[in-house]
Amino acid sequence: MSATTPQTLAAFDPTLVALTVEEAARRLQIGRTTMYGLIKDGEIETIPIGRARRVPAEAVVEYVRSRMRKTTTPIAA
């Protein structure tokens, strides 16, 4: 049986609505640097909560949806 850390739980906890950059990166299975690049380029939205910046969980889902729309080609009939 593998050990479960709080960070591992956060990566897969569907009840979280606002993620740290690291948690959002884990959900996408990308590195922190890549995640910061997506944020900088405006591809993934962040929101301020107090002095922290968080990635809305829905922003991660929307990013995946937008990538699917860009890369999915319709099947010719």
**pLDDT at residue 1 greater than cutoff 80:** no
**pLDDT at residue 11 greater than cutoff 50:** yes
| Higher pLDDT pick, 24 / 11 | 24
pTM summary value: 0.74
- The number of beta carbons lying within 10 Å of the beta carbon of residue 6 is 8
Question: What pLDDT digit, counting tens, does each position of 28-75 carry?
Answer: 999 999 999 999 999 999 999 999 999 999 999 999 999 988 876 666
**pLDDT at residue 24 greater than cutoff 50:** yes
